[in-house]
Structure 1
């Protein structure tokens, strides 16, 4: 019988990561690659030394406080950990780690992709062409907006937002931001302490704030009403940041021009009103979906597991 630590991956990970883990651990792979329910996660807590969840898993209090649990560490595959009840983890004496700093560039790329697609109405154009409805070039067809000279308002100013700003400047955009405190390396004029004031001036509002109760539905009917009619909203942060019903109504009434979304509050379900609208770009949570980023995330998990089972200090503890 193997004496190696038992670990469970709740989803399939890039081959290089799975091979590394299999070389050191007794690994259980979720062959279905579908989200595990609470009963399956609770059973995993009883049988494995480590649970390695993703954002698709709801690691609730009941799961973490499962009777007869064997697990000692929750090694999360991802930077965000709102899906894990940290209070319950601490109560259970469980260590929780995450994988920061490795998905910045990939997520920034997707934010720029959404901006370009929404501003230039690329989604509408592709759907029209694929449906066989394109009648040829004409001067007023699907007129969009240039990024050049536009004001990009960043909500949150962490690593990803800064990477987005760097890319946006190449397109000639001006940068402003809202965060808890001003950044030392930015002009004072770029900082907006009030989110609503930033929304009133931004041509593109891009969300990079963390999730949680404090930021839930920070983009609501009142905030959307302060945005200019030509403005575009982009979200690569957390789905919970937006009241999706309010956004759908604002888009349907053309109170803002468009939106580009990569994350959703009820993933994998998307608000049906958003799906029906032509002026919203919808991506299936592709922010970190490069082989480089997803492999680096998995290697971070492996590093944290190696240090935990060796009794060394952890690289990325969150609880």
Structure 2
């Protein structure tokens, strides 16, 4: 008889099909599990699958007295209270690097779109302004990529792939992270120094208390009127209100965002700027990335139910 696994976050059914062939999935559809299942049904749950950004604290863990494993679908795990899990001897796993290539791709796509003003250019053609020879200040020549200074904040698997792609575009790449890595890029010891140096800041750092709103008004002032922000990490890293103000007063040149402080993001002041390119948190949303993430989820669950250490643990 297949083992029962609770689906804690809201996932499209297609993402769970392969996993559902191996396990008896109890899908809470993003609602509190105690609203969807009886205490008796939850009493025997030993493992759950969650999205890393979904808040999962001690109170919820205590609703599942038999819980011993939390498996994150994706690389992130910032929503999980790791201290609460450790104190309850609950192991936590994730899908490291499974979507790194596709997230790095979207980072470069956002950077190219915002620095080359692709959205205004697309509108220029569709509106008929090009064929009518109407002048547009947004169509003025912009700096090209060779020699552009790219600062990568966070040199994990995603950061490394962003750096490699930027280098292939003949850009000058530097990075900062908690420690220096064996990579062929310039290491800058502080975020402040990196922001002052670069013309595009690529945010690829993990979310946490130490990175919450670390990109604030002061940082954006350091980035300057020719600088761009690209965020494919977590929305919490940027002070979004400060970003709107910086765009409004032209403190920075523009931004490319795949993540937001609150998701899904509704139209607002941020979405009105023509120098901002927005995508709906689709960095890792490719077929190959989902297959890789599902492989990691199943490998973690298989090992847990077999009484073995998780192959992809969060440490």
> Structure 2 length as normaliser, TM-score?
0.89
* 2-structure distance, mates of 1:198, 1:56: 27
Alpha-carbon contact 2:19-2:294 (below 8 Å) kept? no
Deviation (angstroms), 1:101:
1.7
Q: Specify the SS of the correspondent of 1:107.
A: helix
The match for 1:86 is 82
* 2-structure distance, mates of 1:299, 1:40: 29
Matched, 1:258 2:247: no
Counterparts in 2 of 1:8-23, with a 5 A limit?
A: 8-9=6-7, 10-12=9-11, 15=14, 18-23=16-21
* 2-structure distance, mates of 1:92, 1:183: 34
* 1-structure distance, mates of 2:183, 2:295: 32
Moved more, 191-200 or 291-300: 191-200
The match for 1:49 is 46
Alpha-carbon contact 1:260-1:280 (below 8 Å) kept? yes
* 1-structure distance, mates of 2:237, 2:215: 6
Matched, 1:134 2:129: yes
Alpha-carbon deviations, 1:259-308, whole Å to 9, x = none? 00011122223583212222111110011010000111011101110111
Q: Specify the SS of the correspondent of 2:51.
A: coil
* 2-structure distance, mates of 1:63, 1:286: 28
The match for 2:57 is 60
Cα distance change, pair 42–78 in 1 and its aligned pair in 2 (3 A): farther
Matched, 1:28 2:23: no
Deviation (angstroms), 1:160:
1.0
The structure 1 residue matched to 2:99, chosen from 100, 103, 108, is 103
Deviation (angstroms), 1:102:
1.0
> Over aligned residue pairs, what C-alpha RMSD do you find?
2.4
Alpha-carbon contact 1:45-1:71 (below 8 Å) kept? no
Alpha-carbon contact 1:45-1:64 (below 8 Å) kept? no
Alpha-carbon contact 1:231-1:257 (below 8 Å) kept? yes
* 2-structure distance, mates of 1:184, 1:21: 36
* 2-structure distance, mates of 1:150, 1:239: 25
The match for 1:217 is 213
Deviation (angstroms), 1:128:
5.0
Q: In structure 1, list runs of 5 or more residues that go unmatched.
A: none
> Structure 1 length as normaliser, TM-score?
0.88
Q: Specify the SS of the correspondent of 2:5.
A: strand
Moved more, 89-98 or 18-27: 18-27
Moved more, 236-245 or 174-183: 174-183
Alpha-carbon contact 1:245-1:271 (below 8 Å) kept? no
Counterparts in 2 of 1:143-292, with a 5 A limit?
A: 143=140, 144-186=142-184, 190-269=186-265, 272-292=268-288
Alpha-carbon contact 1:45-1:63 (below 8 Å) kept? no
* 2-structure distance, mates of 1:262, 1:247: 14
Alpha-carbon contact 1:38-1:58 (below 8 Å) kept? no
The structure 2 residue matched to 1:5, chosen from 3, 6, 15, is 3
Cα distance change, pair 41–273 in 1 and its aligned pair in 2 (3 A): farther
Deviation (angstroms), 1:39:
4.3
Count of aligned pairs: 309
The structure 1 residue matched to 2:297, chosen from 291, 298, 301, is 301
Q: Specify the SS of the correspondent of 2:75.
A: coil
* 2-structure distance, mates of 1:41, 1:55: 21
Alpha-carbon contact 1:45-1:51 (below 8 Å) kept? no
